[in-house]
Chains A and B, each alone.
Chain A
Amino acid sequence: MPFDASDAETDDALLARYARGDAAAARALTARLAPKAFSHALRVLGDRMEAEDVAQDAMMRLWTIAPKWRAGEAKVSTWLYRVTANLCTDRLRRGGRAGPALDDIPEPEDPMPGADARLLAASRAEAIKAALHGLPDRQRQSIVLRHFEGLANPEIAEVLGISVEAVESLTARAKRALAAALGPMKDALGYEDG
Chain B
Amino acid sequence: MADKTDLNDQQIDAALDEAALEHAQPSEDFMQRVLRDALAEQPHPNVVAPPTTRWSFWQAFGGFGGLVAATCAGFVIGINPPDFIQTQFEAAVYGSAAGLSDYGASVSAYGWDQEEE
Q: Answer whether A and B are interacting partners.
A: yes
Contact A30–B24 (Cβ < 8 Å): no
Q: Are B38 and A183 in contact (CB under 8 A)?
A: no
Segment touching A, from B28-36, B62-70, B81-89: B28-36
Across-interface contacts of A21 in B (CB, < 8 A)? 42-46
A52 to B27, CA, bound (A): 9
A164 at the binding interface (Cβ < 8 Å) = no
B11-19, B50-58, B96-104 - the one binding chain A: B11-19
Q: For residue B9, which residue of chain A has the nearest CB?
A: A175
Chain B interface residue count: which class?
A: 35 or more
Q: Which B residues lie within 8 Å of A29 (CB)?
A: 38
Residues of B within 8 A of A23 (CB): 39, 42
Once A38-B24, A52-B27, A184-B5 are accepted as A-B contacts, the answer to whether A148 and B35 lie under 8 Å apart by CB is: no
Contact flags A18-61 to B (C-beta < 8 A → 1, else 0)? 11111100110111001100110011000010011001100110
B39 touching A147, Cβ below 8 Å: no
Cβ contacts under 8 Å, B42 to chain A: 18-19, 21, 23, 26, 63, 66
Establish whether residues B18 and A30, one from each chain, have CB atoms under 8 Å apart when the complex forms. no
Distance between A30 CB and nearest chain B CB, rounded to angstroms: 5
Choose from B2, B19, B38 the contact partner of A18 (Cβ within 8 Å). Answer: B38
Name the contact of A178 in the complex, choosing from B7, B17, B38 (C-beta under 8 A): B7
Decide if A124 is an interface residue (CB 8 Å cutoff): yes
The size class of the interface chain A forms with chain B is 35 or more
Q: A64 to B4, alpha carbons, bound, how many Å?
A: 51
| B47 → chain A closest CB, angstroms | 8
Q: A52 contacts B16, CB within 8 Å?
A: no
Contacts of B16 in A (CB 8 A): 128, 143, 147-148, 178
Closest A residue to B17 by CB, please name it.
A147
Contact B12 A179 (CB under 8 A): yes
Q: Which of B5, B26, B46 contacts A34 (CB 8 A)?
A: B26
Interface core residue of A66, A127, A147 (most chain B CB under 10 Å): A147
- How long is the Cα–Cα vector from A128 to B22 in the complex, in angstroms? 12
> Who on chain B is nearest to A185 by CB?
B7
CB-based contact B30/A34 at 8 Å: yes
Contacting residues, chain A, for B3 (C-beta < 8 A): 180, 183
The residues in B between 79 and 117 inclusive whose CB is less than 8 angstroms from any CB of A are none
A59–B42 Cα distance when bound, in Å, is: 12
